[in-house]
Chain A
Amino acid sequence: MDRNFMDEVIEEARQFTEKEIRPFAGDFEQNEQVPRELINKMAKRKYLAAPFPEEYGGLGLDPLYYGYLTEEIGKGCASTRALMTVHTSLVGETLLKWGTKEQKERYLRPMASGEKIAAFALSEPEVGTDAGSVKTSYIKEGNKYILNGKKKWITFGNLADIFIIIASEGKNISAFIAERDFGGITTKPIKGMMAGRAAYIAEIEINNLEIPEENLLGKIGGGFTFICNTALDYGRYSVAWAATAVAGAAVEEMVTYARHRTQFDQKIYKFQTIREIIANATTKYLTSKALCINAGNLRIQGSDEKVFQTTLAKYYSSKIAMEVTTDAIQVFGGNGCTSEYPVERLFREAKIFEIIEGTSQIQQEIISRYALSNFYRKKAKAQ
């Protein structure tokens, strides 16, 4: 893919975000929805299919540039960016990787055009981190699978037309592509969310949902090991950039405020303690971005290190997003504690990154295992 073209896409996305998203993020939250018109505009610009190849209506961005795009949109509004995380990354890229030719033909183009919105249904009321224990069940009847169960915390679930649903039959965990039009799917919005209020987060009731056998994604029993792990890897990469975006937005807000706000007859950026906050926040933001860029480059290379480095980027970026947004509120003082300024929303959005796509505690497990394997010095055997 031509680098100049991809640079242009990112610059255009920056302008689009500044004009169409960032000024309205607070309104989206208050109205509890990313407007359909905005989704349509994003689809028209092919943002909803940014990493898809052109044959499926995408922009063909490589993983690094898709990350840059996620950052631009994510700086404007976390709920709007969340659409890309679930629709484009978790569902779209997973279908691209493991879908059959027929599945790709049927679903990717309508997803690219925004005609169909997709969501990923893994979490359940009783199943979060222990994702291998899903209780939503399936049984095979003739040439159909019948699914029953409940899903929870499904981002864009209340708007979605297409779902990847993870279900189990005994020890086998499998993945299915379901359409709302199949019947058997009822969604209910989850109110009172701390963040992601505009992201159509829903509970899903699955009641005798009949799925044709050709909509099995991957193989029977491969739902967790291959489909979930692939989807969550794409999701983690997206969330790493999303958290970096929120940290970046918080740095922009704190710097802008510090240059305008006057106390003791001088702009507050002149105080050393404020400059220390700015310096530390900037270091964290740019370090986080460097980890995301590293993960992006490894993904382009197809390196087997890409999954671990993505985990590392997700862990670090979500941790520092929380720290940087906390510091941004400190710079704003009382003003940072009201919805009049965006840092209050950024602070709430940052917390979510430490939970979604694998909690920070699970990432720490993975990182510590990596260290225990890779940084161990074997004792030299005595001669």
Chain B
Amino acid sequence: MSQEDKIRNYIEKNLTVYDEEVTFTNDDNIFEKGFVNSLFAMKLLNFVEQEFQIDISDDDIDLKNFSSINNIINLINNKK
């Protein structure tokens, strides 16, 4: 499974809107669109650290880094 698919699946599993038809692009801000809440940011951070074997440092804890699939992929690639 690609990085993108893993991240997408994880976000979809944790959506806090329960409409089956909800869709979002790789650039959609999942927080601003209300698809997830701020608590999810920590869960997402833990997921990214564990799934992609990277350490997120205090310099990276900017919500922007976790706000869309593409931003998360960029963060992972920058840490590798």
Contact = CB atoms under 8 A, between A and B. Distances in A.
Interface string A113-130: 000000000000000000
A233 B46 CA distance: 12
B63 A225 contact: yes
B61 A304 contact: no
Given A98-B58, A222-B62, A374-B13, A306 B39 contact: no
A229 B39 CA distance: 7
A159 B50 CA distance: 38
A226 B41 contact: yes
Chain A at the B interface: mostly helix, strand, loop or mixed?
A: helix
A218 B58 contact: yes
Interface of B: 13-16, 18, 20, 38-39, 41-47, 49-51, 58-59, 61-63
B16 A230 contact: no
Contact of A373 (B13, B46, B58): B13
B80 to A, nearest CB: 18
A224 B16 contact: no
5 nearest interchain CB pairs?
A304-B47, A304-B46, A226-B61, A229-B42, A225-B38
Given A218-B61, A304-B44, A304-B50, 6 more contacts: A218-B58, A222-B62, A225-B38, A229-B41, A233-B42, A307-B46
Nearest to A229: B42
B34 to A, nearest CB: 13
Interface of A: 98-100, 132, 218-219, 221-222, 224-226, 229-230, 233, 302-304, 306-308, 366, 369, 372-374, 376, 378
B15 A373 contact: yes
A222 B47 contact: no
Contacts of A100: 58
B79 to A, nearest CB: 16
B38 A132 contact: yes
A132 B16 CA distance: 18
Contact of A221 (B14, B39, B51, B63): B63
B13 A226 contact: no
B49 A366 contact: no
Nearest to A372: B18
Given A98-B61, A99-B58, A307 B18 contact: no
A251 B37 CA distance: 38
Contact of B63 (A132, A222, A306, A374): A222
Given A303-B50, A373-B13, A376-B18, A224 B38 contact: yes
